[in-house]
Chain A
Amino acid sequence: NAGVTQTPKFQVLKTGQSMTLQCAQDMNHEYMSWYRQDPGMGLRLIHYSVGAGITDQGEVPNGYNVSRSTTEDFPLRLLSAAPSQTSVYFCASYAGVFNTEAFFGQGTRLTVV
């Protein structure tokens, strides 16, 4: 099992550009989440999904969109990149409410200039 795979690992964007961060898991987990990690702020939840076709907003959703068309994939879209979105992004998945051991991807380091 590969676990949770994120691509790309590094990305530099210009202000106003759009892009999609990819996240895939091969553990058949229902629950998937996107976090951003900033120095001194801890991990903050952007969006999450409790199954295919079901998503909801987290703590810091503005400027990001998600969709969940399959159990395996949970892409995060930046609509119009801003310097404030410079961060490290992590995708996580876990099996369900009674099994909350979350598996994280390796992260995507995004810089917006």
Chain B
Amino acid sequence: EDQVTQSPEALRLQEGESSSLNCSYTVSGLRGLFWYRQDPGKGPEFLFTLYSAGEEKEKERLKATLTKKESFLHITAPKPEDSATYLCAVQPPRGDFGNEKLTFGTGTRLTIIP
């Protein structure tokens, strides 16, 4: 069974204090790993897709990296507007229906203190 574990559950940082969020996964033949941002009362918002170990993607203060067992979301010099819950999801190999069964982690709730 595919599993996704995110850590820590919650993280409080001072504005400008860089850190990393972790997403570890167990899935046979990963097709893609996704990062989403979710603000309170809103739906998840797509950030990145990573497909292979060693791949990196960046967007403003965020950088996502992928290894064979985990992914990291690095946040550099965060601002209060980066406060949100960050979700990780994995997509297994394609099956008969394209296998759209994304498995999500429970998220990391990030708070940036001004």
Chain A residues near B (Cβ < 8 Å) = 4, 31, 33, 35, 40-45, 48, 50, 54, 56, 58-59, 90, 92, 97, 100-107
Contacts and interface: CB of A to CB of B under 8 A. Distances in A.
8 contacts: A31-B98, A45-B101, A48-B100, A50-B98, A56-B97, A101-B46, A104-B45, A106-B42
Contact of A50 (B91, B97, B102): B97
B107 interface: yes
A94 B107 CA distance: 21
A24 B71 CA distance: 32
A50 B44 CA distance: 20
B46 A43 contact: no
A107 B102 contact: no
B72 interface: no
A102 B46 contact: yes
Given A103-B46, A106-B42, 13 more contacts: A4-B43, A31-B98, A33-B100, A40-B106, A42-B104, A48-B101, A50-B97, A59-B101, A97-B98, A100-B91, A101-B46, A104-B43, A105-B43
Interface of B: 4, 32, 34, 41-46, 49, 87, 89, 91, 94, 97-98, 100-102, 104-107
A52 to B, nearest CB: 14
Nearest to A107: B43
Contacts of B102: 33, 43, 45, 102
Contacts of B44: 43, 90, 92, 102, 104
Contact of A100 (B34, B41, B107): B34
A48 B103 CA distance: 13
5 tightest Cβ-Cβ pairs between the two chains A and B: A104-B43, A43-B104, A42-B104, A42-B106, A101-B46
